[in-house]
Structure formats: structure tokens, C-alpha cells
Structure 1
Amino acid sequence: MEDFMTLNKQLCFAIYETAGEFTKLYTSVLQPFGLTYPQYLVLLALWENDGVTVKELGEKLNLGTGTLTPMASRMEANGWLRKERSKEDERKVFIYLEDKARIEKADITSKVAEVIQSCQIELEEYEQLMKQLHTLQDKIKIRKL
């Protein structure tokens, strides 16, 4: 059991290291567009469902408003999105894609696909990894309940 407790045998450390490598990989691809990895995740969510509230976007991305609000403000200043306060309920702020985000989508997603393919992850392996990670995530969430 002692051997299991070494750093390199820890699943949490392997996931942490892998997440760091993914962040570096995506950062190198997104930097020419002036985007950070978390900003790219915001765009992905909005490309799927535009015109959501800050709260809904935060829930989808698992980000608190303290992180998401300043990020959205920077993205707004850079022309990626706009924020609009609801006329019916001033507490709600909606986020909408700007034309820049729609125009750049094909180029951004193409560059991301290129770099992922350069990692030689086959489609079947990709799908298997996604399934395993979602299963692991569900197990951890159940544990928290």
C-alpha cells in the first residue's frame, strides 16, 4: 500500500499534470487570437447556446461569478461578446456573442482540431477517454453528496 501513495501513482496528480499540459497546448493555439483557455471555454459554451445569463454560463462552466464576470468584461472589451442587463429583471445579465466570435469560430476550431490531431489521439481513444473521465467525475460527485 505504501508504494501506492507515491506521487507518481496518484490519479489526482496524473490528472493535474495532464490538465496542465492541455492548458499549455490550448494556450499556444489560442494566443494568436488573443484568447485564454478559459475564454475559449466561454466561447464554446456560447457557440452552443448564445444569449444566456451570467449565472447560467457560470453553472455550465463550473465558474463562479467572481471569476466569470471580469473574464466576460475583458472579452467584451476585446470584441468577443456583449453583456446586456435584462429589462424585466435588472439582476440578470445576459451574454451574447459578437460578430467577431462568429467570424473567428471556424478558424479557432480548425486550429484547435489541428493541434489535437497532432497529439495522435485516435477518435476511438478520444471517445473512450471522454467516457472514462465523465464516469470518474460522476463517481466523485456522488461521493460529495
Structure 2
Amino acid sequence: MQEESFDPLLLGNQLCFPLYAAARKIVAAYHPFLKNLGLTYAHYVTMMVLWEERIITMHELGKRLYLDSGTLTPVLKKLESMGYIKRRRKEDDERVVVAEITKEGEALREEAAKIPYAMGCLINRNGDLFTPKEAAALKKQLYHLLHALA
């Protein structure tokens, strides 16, 4: 009997593909909930960090979101034009840009707080996909992967 060899170019042998496809599906599933708030997924995760930190440097925000400044700048510009954040340069170092949440941005948090529950219901509509322990383990593994690639 001949042993089958591993083909690294078969789509079914890739770890990256189901991660990519799942990420696209999750972002698409968020779309209707975020559309009601006028946000994209990139706006939403940026606001999540700002709701947590209130004031953060662009550099630190980029690290938290795994985004470079070229990707983050248009997101911040849009959120600023919507009145949710203010950007300014630090007085002691004008090279450093700081983002700060506004009262309007803080008020948006209340509406956005409904989204995680709605997504949980959507994902688990056919029964629990993951136990809380499994979900925590998956999140931990994904962060290990992110840190390895950072």
C-alpha cells in the first residue's frame, strides 16, 4: 500500500484559509448591526478601544488593533468627522497624535452594547457553537497566532 504524501498546496490542508473565510463571514455578519450605527467593523473595534481607554496615542491604538497608521488614519478621520472622537497632537511631543473619545462617542457606546449579544444569538442560532471554555481557548490560540505574526 502506497503512503499518501502531504500536499501543502491543497486548500483543505491550509490553516490560513478557514481563518480568512471565518473572519470575512464574521465581519459580514456584523454589518447589519453596525450599519444601524453608521459604523464599519474597523470603526467599531476602534471605538471599543476608545471606550476602554478614553484617550490613546495613535501608535498604541495601532498596536492594539494590529493596524498600521496608513490603515488607521482614514478610520480616525471618519470617526472624527462623525463627532465620535477628537484627534490632537501632544503638547510635549508634536510628533505624537492622540485620539480622544467625545461625549457623542461615549453616547454611542450604549447602542453598541447591544451588538455582542445580537452576534452571540446569530452565531448560536442552531445551538451553542462553543462552550465558554472552548471560546476562551480559541481566543487564546488566535492571540498566540497574532503575537507570533506581529
**Normalising TM by the smaller chain, what interval?**
0.7 to 0.9
What amino acid is the match of 1:137? Answer: L
What amino acid is the match of 1:109? Answer: A
| Contact 1:29 1:111 (C-alpha < 8 Å) held by counterparts | yes
Aligned-residue sequence identity (percent) comes to 30
Matched, 1:71 2:75: yes
Choose from 124, 129, 133 the match for 1:124.
133
Q: Which runs of 4+ in 1 moved over 4 A?
A: none
Matched, 1:24 2:28: yes
Choose from 28, 50, 53 the match for 1:49.
53
Render the CA deviation track for 1:75-94: whole Å, top value 9, x for unaligned.
Answer: 10011111112222211211
**C-alpha displacement at 1:17, in angstroms?**
0.4
Say which SS state the counterpart of residue 67 (structure 2) adopts.
Answer: coil
Say which SS state the counterpart of residue 52 (structure 1) adopts.
Answer: strand
Number of aligned residues? 141
Larger C-alpha radius of gyration, 1 or 2? 2
Say which SS state the counterpart of residue 28 (structure 2) adopts.
Answer: helix
Say which SS state the counterpart of residue 15 (structure 1) adopts.
Answer: helix
Render the CA deviation track for 1:101-123: whole Å, top value 9, x for unaligned.
Answer: 21121221212322223211442
**C-alpha displacement at 1:32, in angstroms?**
0.8
Between 1:68-77 and 1:121-130, the stretch displaced more is 121-130
Render the CA deviation track for 1:20-47: whole Å, top value 9, x for unaligned.
Answer: 0011011221111010101111111111
Render the CA deviation track for 1:57-86: whole Å, top value 9, x for unaligned.
Answer: 112111111111121011100111111122
Q: Are the structure 2 counterparts of residues 137 and 63 from structure 1 closer, same or farther at C-alpha, using a change threshold of 3 Å?
A: closer
Partner of 1:62: 66
TM-score, normalized by length of structure 1?
A: 0.86
Task: Show structure 2 runs of 5+ residues with no match.
Answer: none
**C-alpha displacement at 1:4, in angstroms?**
5.8
What amino acid is the match of 1:59? Answer: K
Task: Show structure 1 runs of 5+ residues with no match.
Answer: none
What amino acid is the match of 2:16? Answer: C
Say which SS state the counterpart of residue 92 (structure 2) adopts.
Answer: coil
What amino acid is the match of 2:41? Answer: Y
| Contact 1:45 1:57 (C-alpha < 8 Å) held by counterparts | yes
| Contact 1:86 1:92 (C-alpha < 8 Å) held by counterparts | yes
